[in-house]
Amino acid sequence: MWWMTTLSWLFLVIPMVKTRCDKTVNGKRYKLTIALLVDDNNPNATPQETILMDNIRLAGDAEKCLSPNYVKLKIGESLGLKKHGWAAIKTGMEDAMAFQGTKPNLIIGPFYTNLAMVLEKEGIPYLVTDYKGFDWIDMSRVEDTVKWKTIVEIRPPVQDQNLAVVDKFVVEEWASAIMIMPENPADNLECQDLASQLLNEEVSLIPHSVDVTSNGSGTLINKILLNVRLSRQRHIIVCSPRDERDHLIAKVLKAAKAFNLLSNEEQYFIFVDPSSYLLPFSDATNMFRLRLFSIRCHLLAFRYIRPEGKVDSAMDAAYMDAGRIITVGLSSYISEQTEVTDTFSGARFIKALKSVKLERGKTGKIHFNATGQRIEYKLDLYRHGGEKMYQRIAEWGLNGTDAAERLNQTVPDDGASIKAKYDIFPETVYVVVVIEKPFVMKKASVNGDKFEGFTIDLLESLSKSLKFNYKIYVSPNQYGVRKDDGTWDGMVGEIKNGNATLAMGAISITSKREIAIDFSLGVLTTGVNILISRPDDHYTIFQFLKPFSLELWITILGSFIVVSMVYFLLDYKRPSTKFTARETLWFSMGTLLKRGTDFSPEPISQRILTSGFNFFVLITVATYTANMAAFLTTKDFGNTVDSFESLADNDDISCGTVKNSATKHFLQMGTKPVFKRLWDKMIYSDGLVANSSEGQKKVANGNYAFVYDHLINSYVEGEYCNMKVVASPILMQEHGIGMKEGAPFKTSINIELLKLKENGQIQDWKKKWWEDKRKCDKDGKNKKKPRGQFGVAHMAGVFIFALFGMSCGVAFFLFKKFYLLAKPISEGTKEENMEGEDDNGDGEEERVKRKKMMHSTNPPVHL
Q: pLDDT tens across 193-226, in order?
A: 999 999 999 999 999 999 988 888 889 999 999 9
Q: Which residue spans within 509-550 are E strands per DSSP?
A: 518-519, 524-533
Q: How far apart are the C-alpha atoms of 658 and 679, rounded to whole Å? A: 12
Question: Between residues 13 and 283, which one has the greater pLDDT?
Answer: 283
Same fold: 424-523+736-780 with 527-535+640-731? yes
What is the number of other CB atoms lying within 10 angstroms of the CB of residue 403? 18
Q: Residue 269's pLDDT is what? A: 96
Q: Residue 857's pLDDT is what? A: 44
Tens digit of pLDDT for each residue in 724-772?
A: 888 888 888 889 999 988 777 887 888 889 889 888 899 999 888 888 8
Asked whether the beta carbons of 628 and 618 are under 8 A apart, the reply is: no
Question: Between residues 126 and 582, which one has the greater pLDDT?
Answer: 126
Q: Residue 268's pLDDT is what? A: 96
Highest mean pLDDT among 325-334, 381-390, 689-698, 753-762: 325-334
Provide the edge-to-edge strand list for the sheet that holds 654-656.
654-656, 704-709, 524-533, 723-735
Q: Residue 798's pLDDT is what? A: 60
Q: If we measure between CA atoms, which residue out of 93, 136, 130, 131 comes closest to residue 115?
A: 93
Q: How far apart are the C-alpha atoms of 712 and 438, rounded to whole Å? A: 7
Q: Are strands 518-519 and 738-739 parallel, antiparallel or unpaired?
A: antiparallel
CATH topology of domain 158-303+374-422: Rossmann fold (3.40.50)
Q: How far apart are the C-alpha atoms of 772 and 508, rounded to whole Å? A: 24
Q: State the maximum Cα–Cα separation within the chain, in Å, rounded to a whole number.
A: 166
Q: How far apart are the C-alpha atoms of 412 and 394, rounded to whole Å? A: 9
The pLDDT confidence band at residue 17, using thresholds 50, 70 and 90, is very low
The pLDDT confidence band at residue 839, using thresholds 50, 70 and 90, is very low
Q: Residue 206's pLDDT is what? A: 94
Q: Residue 630's pLDDT is what? A: 64
Q: How far apart are the C-alpha atoms of 745 and 458, rounded to whole Å? A: 16
pLDDT-wise least confident of 39-48, 252-261, 522-531, 836-845: 836-845
Q: How far apart are the C-alpha atoms of 692 and 687, rounded to whole Å? A: 12
Is pLDDT of 846 > 60? Answer: no
Q: What does pTM read for this prediction? A: 0.55
DSSP 154-211: SSPPHHHHHHHHHHHHHHHT--EEEEEEES-TTT-HHHHHHHHHHHHTT-EEEEEEE-
From the number of C-beta atoms within 10 Å of its C-beta (0-12, 13-18, 19+), residue 434 rates as buried
Is pLDDT of 4 > 50? Answer: no
Q: How far apart are the C-alpha atoms of 139 and 623, rounded to whole Å? A: 95
Q: Residue 790's pLDDT is what? A: 55
The pLDDT confidence band at residue 467, using thresholds 50, 70 and 90, is confident
Highest mean pLDDT among 409-423, 458-472, 709-723, 806-820: 458-472
Q: Where are the domains of the chain?
A: 23-155+311-356, 158-303+374-422, 424-523+736-780, 527-535+640-731, 543-594+605-633, 797-852
Q: Residue 687's pLDDT is what? A: 82
Helix (H, G, I), strand (E, B) or coil at 531: strand
Q: If we measure between CA atoms, which residue out of 769, 697, 771 comes closest to residue 439?
A: 769
Q: Residue 514's pLDDT is what? A: 86
AA identity, residue 264: N
pLDDT-wise least confident of 80-94, 170-184, 196-210, 251-265: 80-94
Helix (H, G, I), strand (E, B) or coil at 528: strand
The pLDDT confidence band at residue 502, using thresholds 50, 70 and 90, is very high
Q: Residue 221's pLDDT is what? A: 93
Tens digit of pLDDT for each residue in 335-359?
A: 998 889 988 999 999 999 999 998 8
Q: How far apart are the C-alpha atoms of 374 and 155, rounded to whole Å? A: 7
Q: What is the b/e burial string over 18-50, where b = at least 16 CB atoms within 10 angstroms of the residue's CB?
A: eeebebbeeeebbebbbbbbbbeeeeebeebbe
pLDDT-wise least confident of 57-66, 634-643, 852-861: 852-861
Q: How far apart are the C-alpha atoms of 253 and 267, rounded to whole Å? A: 12
Q: Residue 293's pLDDT is what? A: 74
Tens digit of pLDDT for each residue in 75-120?
A: 888 787 777 776 778 787 877 776 666 788 999 999 998 889 889 9
Strand partners, 656: 706
* CATH number, domain 527-535+640-731: 3.40.190.10
Q: Residue 678's pLDDT is what? A: 86
Residues in the chain, total: 863
Q: Phi, psi (5° rounding) for residue 517?
A: -135, 175
Q: Residue 172's pLDDT is what? A: 94
Asked whether the beta carbons of 152 and 126 are under 8 A apart, the reply is: yes
CA 233 to mean position of chain CA atoms: 48
Q: Residue 780's pLDDT is what? A: 57
Q: Residue 1's pLDDT is what? A: 42
Q: Residue 77's pLDDT is what? A: 80
The pLDDT confidence band at residue 400, using thresholds 50, 70 and 90, is confident
Strand partners, 236: 178, 269
Q: Residue 168's pLDDT is what? A: 95
pLDDT-wise least confident of 43-57, 259-273, 564-578: 564-578
CATH topology of domain 424-523+736-780: D-Maltodextrin-Binding Protein; domain 2 (3.40.190)
Give percent above pLDDT 70 in the chain: 79
Percentages of the chain per state (helix, strand, coil), in multiples of 5: 45, 15, 40
Q: If we measure between CA atoms, which residue out of 773, 705, 699 comes closest to residue 438?
A: 773
DSSP 555-597: HHHHHHHHHHHHHHHHTTT-TT----HHHHHHHHHHHHTT---
Tens digit of pLDDT for each residue in 113-168?
A: 888 988 998 899 999 998 888 877 777 888 888 889 999 999 888 999 999 999 99
* CATH number, domain 23-155+311-356: 3.40.50.2300
The predicted model gives 269-273 an average pLDDT of: 94
Q: How far apart are the C-alpha atoms of 613 and 89, rounded to whole Å? A: 109
Is pLDDT of 638 > 60? Answer: no
Is pLDDT of 296 > 70? Answer: yes
From the number of C-beta atoms within 10 Å of its C-beta (0-12, 13-18, 19+), residue 785 rates as exposed
Q: Phi, psi (5° rounding) for residue 600?
A: -125, 155
Mean pLDDT of the chain: 80
The pLDDT confidence band at residue 333, using thresholds 50, 70 and 90, is very high
The residues near 272 (Cβ < 8 Å, ≥ 6 apart) are 161, 162, 165, 190, 191, 194, 237, 238, 239, 240, 241, 301, 302
Is pLDDT of 380 > 70? Answer: yes
Asked whether the beta carbons of 270 and 179 are under 8 A apart, the reply is: no
Give percent above pLDDT 90 in the chain: 22
Tens digit of pLDDT for each residue in 405-454?
A: 999 988 876 666 565 556 677 878 999 998 888 888 887 655 555 888 99
Is pLDDT of 863 > 50? Answer: no
